[in-house]
Chains A and B, each alone.
Chain A
Amino acid sequence: MTTLLPLTFDSPAPVPSQLHGYLSANSMGGQSVLDATTLPQTTDPFHGTKKDANQAKKAAEAAGLSVIAESRLGLAVVGSPAAYEELTGGRVVTKEVLLYAEAATRRYVTHVDITGKNQPSALGCGRPKSSVAGIEAVILERPRAPQASATWIAPPPAKTPQGGGIWPSPIPPNVPGFYLRVPQDVALGLGAPQAQRQGFRGQGVRVAMVDTGFYLHPFFPAHHYQIATPIAVVPGVDQGSDPVGHGTGESANMFANAPDAQLQPIRASNDAGELVAAVAGFMKAKSLAGDQRPQIISNSWGGDMQFPPASNTLPPQEVAFALELKDAVELGIFVVFSAGNGQFSTEPQVPEVFAAGGTYMSSNMALQASNYASGYESPFFPNRIVPDACGLVGLLPRALYIMLPIPPGCQLDVEESHSDDQGNPGDGTPPNDGWALFSGTSAAAPQVAGAAAVLLSVQNPAKPPLTPAQIEEALLQTCVDVRFGTCHPRFNNPAGPGQDLATGFGLVNITAAVEYAKNKFPASF
């Protein structure tokens, strides 16, 4: 059967710490439940002998499982994933399965499976190790929806399409006015399509994003994007959720440019969505090692200080964190921060960090500085201009510019759908549809991160990797110059020919950057 969306795929969701399961005792009739295709006249052939039942119980408990109930057929058990792995010799993993849920709509639901050599292909089923006596099958509980409830995870819209459908939709809604869609319009504006057609799509590159969290919106599997298991820094929060929707939406900006990169979401927010662990989140991203090591860390957040500052020296806590950013770059990680939406923050001013500002592209692709984005000369670091260069960002008053996938009913879904307190209209989407129009330099940072991932995917893996400084040079030297408009009124700097305080070097152009890097840094290709 062909489907528009993958029916199942390896999930980024973590394996729960406790799993309910069922152990089938050896069947007296000789046929294992794993091989049965229908029900017999009576259950007798599948009963276990007393000896097998006793052995099954002993084996379960020896592996670390607790027996909840027993029958003539088997045992209901609960325990850690490690206990099931001990019993089977396999590996417990999560998989997403497209299921009909409530109100005749489909959604991805996380399942648990046992994989490995000699393990059956049936989802959720495992075979015990040969040394385990009395048990013929291990079956993990699958998620079951309460059939009469419409609140399994989150309610779908009242009107569901005839014939069902997936919810939230992987396809962005249509609303009046001009706006950009992901991935195509964002990729087009940043010059990515030609590089992508040449096969440079961020493959083999890991991008960590420190943000409010990540929700597995159907938009992501529909595009076959790769997402690693999210990491939560604040103890006790759900690592697979995003109360604000910001991290989820911004991820789509990265994938627009680098569809084959792997995203490592790092949730630095508490349950209220506040970024209470931003420094720890960055430190976590920087410390990941081995296969988890990111080549790029994207950050769409920042603080704010008085501008111009009372003195040109940074307070010690700012120096301490700035040193960590610089150190990450020295370790070979390309670090990008948003320049700010009128904010004046330390992070993008650190000279080794790539500061991503804003350029607005109109419906006929005319470019101007975004008046939503910060732009200034740093008073702390000589000759440091923020931004370095730009991604695509909307305009004041609300920068409703890029239609992005978010968790249905999250803070952004609700806020963006309504008029703001100045009476500026909302984005035209419902408050619970899983899509919202928003942007800011938050969008620019992951767009630049995606551009950097494309550059890293061009190079020859057997050759020395491009350094962060080389990536930055390639991106800056090939920007499309932006000559019109002014940045945020707080700074009020105009764009003009060449490097300027509003847009830096201009709008990033990925295909041109690829060509530049190939010619300028042949040792890496």
Chain B
Amino acid sequence: MSYAEAIVTAASDVSEADRAKIQTWAEREEFQAIPMKMGMLITGDEELFRKVFGITQADLSARSTRDVSLPIPAEVASAVSSITIRRLPSIDG
């Protein structure tokens, strides 16, 4: 199982309806969606991320060295300001 998580940040003037739209989109794409104060955490298999966002494994692997910005689907473009896989944290020894 290869797992990934991404933070979906909502647009600054997002309404409750827009939040619901993000949730509906995430669940329909079969992500697990965890509400955040400023958007949503979406989690799922790497394959799902590749399929939904049209990215490659190399794009995903880049998270070991940097944040990875994902394209915003047109369906939620009005409600979302960014979708980002954060750089993998390091353990602090």
- Residues of A at under 8 Å CB distance from B? 211-212, 234-237, 244, 246, 270-271, 274-280, 283, 300-304, 315-321, 323-324, 327, 338-341, 343, 345, 372, 399, 438-443, 445
- How far apart are the CA atoms of A278 and B86 in the complex, in Å? 10
Chain A residues near B34: list those with CB within 8 A: 280, 283
B23 contacts chain A at the CB level, 8 A cutoff: no
Within 8 A of A (CB), among B74-93: 81-82, 84, 86-93
Chain B residues near A323: list those with CB within 8 A: 36-38
Say whether, besides A211-B91, A212-B91, A301-B90, A320 and B36 are in contact (CB < 8 Å).
Answer: yes
Report which of A270, A320, A343, A443 forms a contact with B38, defined as CB distance below 8 A: A320
Report which of B2, B38, B87 forms a contact with A303, defined as CB distance below 8 A: B87
B91 touches A445 (CB 8 A): no
A235 touches B37 (CB 8 A): no
Say whether, besides A277-B3, A320-B38, A302 and B86 are in contact (CB < 8 Å).
Answer: no
Expressed in whole angstroms, the minimum distance between the Cβ of B19 and any Cβ of chain A is: 13
Expressed in whole angstroms, the minimum distance between the Cβ of B90 and any Cβ of chain A is: 7
Q: Please give me the residue from chain A that is nearest to B1 by CB atom.
A: A236
Within 8 A of A (CB), among B50-78: 64, 67
Chain B residues near A279: list those with CB within 8 A: 5, 7, 41, 86
Provide 28 A-B residue pairs closer than 8 Å at the C-beta atoms, listed in order of the A residue.
Answer: A211-B91, A274-B64, A274-B88, A275-B88, A275-B90, A276-B3, A277-B43, A280-B5, A280-B43, A283-B36, A301-B90, A301-B91, A303-B86, A316-B82, A317-B9, A317-B67, A317-B82, A318-B86, A320-B7, A320-B38, A323-B37, A323-B38, A324-B37, A440-B91, A440-B93, A442-B92, A443-B93, A445-B92
B14 contacts chain A at the CB level, 8 A cutoff: no
Chain A residues near B41: list those with CB within 8 A: 279-280, 283
- How far apart are the CA atoms of A303 and B86 in the complex, in Å? 9
- How far apart are the CA atoms of A331 and B76 in the complex, in Å? 30
Interface residues on B, range: 20 to 34
Report which of B2, B9, B88, B93 forms a contact with A341, defined as CB distance below 8 A: B93
Chain B residues near A300: list those with CB within 8 A: 91-92
- How far apart are the CA atoms of A300 and B89 in the complex, in Å? 10
A341 touches B5 (CB 8 A): no
Q: Please give me the residue from chain A that is nearest to B9 by CB atom.
A: A316
User: Counting chain A CB atoms within 10 Å of each CB, which of B39, B41, B84 scores highest?
Assistant: B41
Expressed in whole angstroms, the minimum distance between the Cβ of B58 and any Cβ of chain A is: 16
Q: Please give me the residue from chain B that is nearest to A268 by CB atom.
A: B89
User: Counting chain B CB atoms within 10 Å of each CB, which of A276, A277, A301, A442 scores highest?
Assistant: A276
Q: Please give me the residue from chain B that is nearest to A339 by CB atom.
A: B92
- How far apart are the CA atoms of A237 and B91 in the complex, in Å? 19
- How far apart are the CA atoms of A271 and B3 in the complex, in Å? 10
- How far apart are the CA atoms of A302 and B92 in the complex, in Å? 7
Say whether, besides A300-B92, A343-B92, A324 and B9 are in contact (CB < 8 Å).
Answer: no
- How far apart are the CA atoms of A345 and B81 in the complex, in Å? 22
Chain A residues near B67: list those with CB within 8 A: 315, 317
B39 touches A320 (CB 8 A): yes
Chain B residues near A320: list those with CB within 8 A: 7, 9, 36-39
B92 touches A321 (CB 8 A): no
Within 8 A of A (CB), among B1-42: 1-5, 7, 9, 34, 36-39, 41
Expressed in whole angstroms, the minimum distance between the Cβ of B18 and any Cβ of chain A is: 15
Q: Please give me the residue from chain B that is nearest to A347 by CB atom.
A: B89
Chain A residues near B3: list those with CB within 8 A: 234-235, 270, 276-277
- How far apart are the CA atoms of A442 and B92 in the complex, in Å? 5
Chain A residues near B90: list those with CB within 8 A: 275, 301-304, 343
Expressed in whole angstroms, the minimum distance between the Cβ of A393 and any Cβ of chain B is: 8
- How far apart are the CA atoms of A371 and B67 in the complex, in Å? 27
B93 touches A442 (CB 8 A): yes
B91 touches A442 (CB 8 A): yes
Report which of A237, A315, A441 forms a contact with B93, defined as CB distance below 8 A: A441
B37 touches A276 (CB 8 A): no
B1 touches A234 (CB 8 A): yes
Say whether, besides A234-B1, A276-B4, A323-B38, A315 and B92 are in contact (CB < 8 Å).
Answer: no
Expressed in whole angstroms, the minimum distance between the Cβ of B4 and any Cβ of chain A is: 6
A277 touches B89 (CB 8 A): no
B92 touches A316 (CB 8 A): no
Q: Please give me the residue from chain B that is nearest to A235 by CB atom.
A: B1
Say whether, besides A270-B2, A276-B5, A304 and B93 are in contact (CB < 8 Å).
Answer: no
Chain A residues near B91: list those with CB within 8 A: 211-212, 244, 246, 275, 300-301, 440, 442
B92 touches A327 (CB 8 A): no
Q: Please give me the residue from chain B that is nearest to A302 by CB atom.
A: B89
Chain B residues near A275: list those with CB within 8 A: 88-91
- How far apart are the CA atoms of A271 and B1 in the complex, in Å? 8
Say whether, besides A324-B36, A324-B37, A438 and B93 are in contact (CB < 8 Å).
Answer: yes
Chain A residues near B64: list those with CB within 8 A: 274
